[in-house]
Amino acid sequence: MTIALTILHILVSIFLIAVVLLQSGKGAEMGASFGSGGSQSVFGAGGGTTFLSKMTTGAAVIFMLTSLTLAYISGQPSSSSIMSGKGKSSSAAKLPVQVPQPTVPVQQNKPATMPTVPTAPVQPQK
């Protein structure tokens, strides 16, 4: 299902780009007044703007729905894993765990002393 949704998402995005590029800019009406009329004659007199606007709106809605659906699906935890059986090995579970013993003897009944650092005598400033 994810692959089909991704293919639909790509096709809708390409269609949306094409529909947006087919629309005329805001300055196209200026050219029609100087004799290049009929630029929207394929879609009828003034009907092209609404037709392309409806196509853009429809493609944008489908694009947003597929985007949200793909984002929701990718956020769900997957039920399968490539590491499903690799974490447990029978030989590692049977070995006993050995804790190393400390090798430093513990001294008791002696106060802890801090080593002192020799410092140079401070000379008075003149």
Share of the chain above pLDDT 90, in %: 31
Is the model more confident about 102 or about 125? 125
User: Does residue 66 have a pLDDT over 90?
Assistant: yes
Q: Inter-axis angle of helices 2-22 and 47-75, to 10 degrees?
A: 150
Q: Mean per-residue pLDDT for 71-99? A: 70
Residue 46: both structure tokens together: 């003034």
Is the model more confident about 67 or about 112? 67
Residue 94: both structure tokens together: 């049977």
Per-residue pLDDT, 17: 95
Q: Mean per-residue pLDDT for 15-41? A: 70
Q: DSSP string covering 12-36, please?
A: HHHHHHHHHHHS--TTHHHHHTTT-
